[in-house]
Structures are given as C-alpha cells and as structure tokens.
Amino acid sequence: GNSVTQMEGPVTLSEEAFLTINCTYTATGYPSLFWYVQYPGEGLQLLLKATKADDKGSNKGFEATYRKETTSFHLEKGSVQVSDSAVYFCALRDNQGGKLIFGQGTELSVKP
Amino acid sequence: EAGVTQFPSHSVIEKGQTVTLRCDPISGHDNLYWYRRVMGKEIKFLLHFVKESKQDESGMPNNRFLAERTGGTYSTLKVQPAELEDSGVYFCASSQVSHNTEAFFGQGTRLTVV
C-alpha cells in the first residue's frame, strides 16, 4: 500500500542554517505530495504541495521538488529562523477518496 | 470565515469511560476526515465522510470507535469504552472536493486516557 517515510527528529539547528528534511514515498500511480507544518499550540497547516513529477512547491522560503525517479519530496530552506520551529509532516494524497497518508513527522528546533 | 473547529481541545478520562469528540467543518465542505496521531508517530487516517455518508472507514481501529455526521454538518467521534492506547491527538479536516482541493485541519483534540 501507499506509505511515506521521513527522517526522524528532533532536528536542532542554529538560526540561518540550511535545512533539509528527507521524505520518500511508496505509491501506485502519481499521487499529489504535501508538506504540512504544526506550530506549537496550533493545528496542521499546509506549507506547500506538488501535484506532478518535477513540480516544485514553495512557500515561506521552503521548497520541495517532486522527484518521481527517486520517489522523494525533500523539504529545504536556505536560512531557517527561530519562528520555523515546528513539527513538519510529509504526506501524499490517495487518489481514491482524497485521504492523506502521512510520515511520522520531524520536529525542528531552531536556536538563536 | 471560520476554520475547522474541534471540541474539546483537551480531554483526560479514565480507562473504561466514554468520550465524544466533535468537529465542525468549514461551512459548505462536504468532505470531512478524521485522523489520529499517537505518541509522536505518524498521523493515521481514521475515516472519511462525504456529507452524511461514510465513504471510507478503513482506518477505524476497532468497534469501540463510532463516528457520525448527522445532517452532513458537524461530526462526532465517540470512544466507548476508552483504553490506554487510545491516547493521542485526534485531528479533523474538511475539504470541498476530495481529490483536488486543499484539506483544512482543526487544531486537534488531545485525548489522554489514564
């Protein structure tokens, strides 16, 4: 069945460091891919998405490219800020019914 | 416009008791999903409503869980009787069209069974 695997956390970085959170998936067909973020005390928010191979999703300085050949959707940001501290979830959308399949989440802590 | 709202935000109950979680989706959203995250693991799908009908309940863990969406508006998720392993954060999400539109999530209900 469909599944998502993302790097385990927690990840601790200094402000302005480069961030990569790896995400790989297993799926039949060509699902849409997402990154969701949960800031402390808040609900899940969509950070970015990509709906087909080679698409690049971007938002708030974060980017991820849909790589069909490596079945990956790694999240990157060139310079993280303290306000980026949150839990990040990679997900794919099932082509039937639209349910989301999530990875286990990666907690990011950015220190000043 | 109001977002997805979940009640309560936190609940602590004893093993064997009953708890009912509520989700109010965004007005006009026919699709409503329940998910659960247990102890830092992945967020897992529980079930999907289209209006008042259960479209997919393949993720419901067992018959102690009962979800309803009478009238196709708000939804409730009842756990009876609760067990320790039911502890976690329960998320609700809604969307207009299941395949092609963004799903909006509520803040979640943190359930602790002691």
Residue A98 CB neighbours (<10 A): 22
* CA atoms of A102 and A25, how far apart (whole Å): 10
- What is the torsional sign of CA B8, B104, A6, B43? positive
Q: Which residue has the higher pLDDT, A95 or A80?
A: A80
Choose from A3, A25, A33, A44 for mutation: most chain B CBs within 10 A: A44
Q: Which residue of B has its CA nearest to A106?
A: B40
How many residues comprise chain A?
112
Q: What is the mean pLDDT of residues A61-81?
A: 97
Residue B8, preceding peptide bond in cis (omega within 30° of 0): yes
* Helix, strand, coil percentages, rounded to 5, for chain A: 5, 55, 45
Which two three-digit tokens encode residue B94?
């809604």
Tell me if B107 and A93 make a contact (CB, 8 A cut-off): no
Contact criterion met (CB below 8 Å) for A29 and A96 = no
* Band of residue A96 on the pLDDT scale cut at 50, 70, 90: confident
- Confidence at residue B77, expressed as pLDDT on a 0 to 100 scale: 98
**CB contact A3 to B (< 8 Å):** no
* Band of residue A39 on the pLDDT scale cut at 50, 70, 90: very high
**CB contact A1 to B (< 8 Å):** no
pLDDT, mean over chain A = 94
Q: Which helix (H) or strand (E) holds B110?
A: strand B109-113
* Band of residue B70 on the pLDDT scale cut at 50, 70, 90: confident
- Confidence at residue A55, expressed as pLDDT on a 0 to 100 scale: 95
Q: Which of residues 57-96 of A touch B (CB under 8 A)?
A: 89, 91, 93, 95
Q: What is the mean pLDDT of residues A29-54?
A: 92
Q: Which residues of B touch A43 (CB under 8 A)?
A: 3-4, 91, 105-108
**Cα Rg, chain B, nearest whole Å:** 13
* CA atoms of B24 and B46, how far apart (whole Å): 17
* Band of residue B97 on the pLDDT scale cut at 50, 70, 90: confident
Q: What is the mean pLDDT of residues A100-110?
A: 95
Question: Per residue in B82-93, pLDDT tens?
Answer: 999 999 999 999
Q: Which residue has the higher pLDDT, B72 or B53?
A: B53
Q: Which residue of B has its CA nearest to A43?
A: B107
A94 exposure class (CB count in 10 Å sphere: 0-12, 13-18, 19+): buried
pLDDT at A46 over 80: yes
- Confidence at residue B74, expressed as pLDDT on a 0 to 100 scale: 96
* Band of residue A9 on the pLDDT scale cut at 50, 70, 90: confident
Tell me the CA distances in angstroms from B9 to A1, A2, B31, B110, B114, one per residue in order: 32, 30, 22, 6, 17
* Band of residue A30 on the pLDDT scale cut at 50, 70, 90: confident
| Among the listed residues B75, B81, B60, the one whose alpha carbon sits nearest the alpha carbon of residue B109 | B75
- Confidence at residue A78, expressed as pLDDT on a 0 to 100 scale: 97
- Confidence at residue B80, expressed as pLDDT on a 0 to 100 scale: 97
